[in-house]
Amino acid sequence: MSAAALIVIDAQESFRHRPFFTEEGLAAYVDRQQALIDGARANGTPVVQIFHVADSGAFAEASGFVTTLAPLRIEPDAVFRKRRHSALVGTGLDVWLAANDIRHLIISGIRTEQCCETTARHASDLGYAVSFVSEATLTFPMTDAAGRLWSAAEIRSRTELVLSGRFARIATVAEALADPKEEIAA
């Protein structure tokens, strides 16, 4: 068995300042994300917070929005800043995981189909066991090139479809916390 870590990706105020931001689903996300954070803390699973940063706009450090999304409460064991979609590119997260003998990642955060999914795929390809807690992820409606509006629920379902059994185990908060140190084969 190897140790697990909860990865909380981009749960930051920056999103409130983007034109696509909507409150739809936010309360449910915050509830599930907080339950996952609190459960990880209670069972001794390290909590890692990831912030996305950019040179300008709402994701720039100077904006003041690269802070934890309110009202989430998180006291992370480690904090990393990223400039790419995967939290494993250029952040030092991989070094921290290796130093702490962590081989199982519990993925949560914002946006479901972007940084969360990308990190899950990347982690799987690197040999990590991955539990993807989609109920503790948040995304926003998107319009495709043909003009079809995809709801957040449809995007989440699509992410679960493409990750499940290939890159990750899709887990509820309770399932992810049940035995976080047990290595889950993707």
Helix (H, G, I), strand (E, B) or coil at 30: helix
- What's the number of domains the chain is made of? 1
pLDDT in tens, 99-127: 999 999 999 999 999 999 999 999 999 99
In terms of Cβ atoms closer than 10 Å to its own Cβ (0-12, 13-18, 19+), residue 120 is: buried
On whether residue 146 sits in a domain, the answer given is: yes
Confirm whether 10 is domain-assigned. yes
pLDDT digit string, tens, across residues 32-55: 999 999 999 999 999 999 999 999
Predicted TM-score (pTM) of the model is 0.94
Does 183 fall in a domain?
no
Range of the domain at 51: 3-178
Q: Is residue 75 part of a domain?
A: yes
Residue 3 backbone class (left: φ over 0; alpha: ψ -120 to 50; beta: rest): beta
Helix crossing, 117-125 with 152-163: angle to 10°? 10
The enclosing domain of 34 has a CATH number of 3.40.50.850
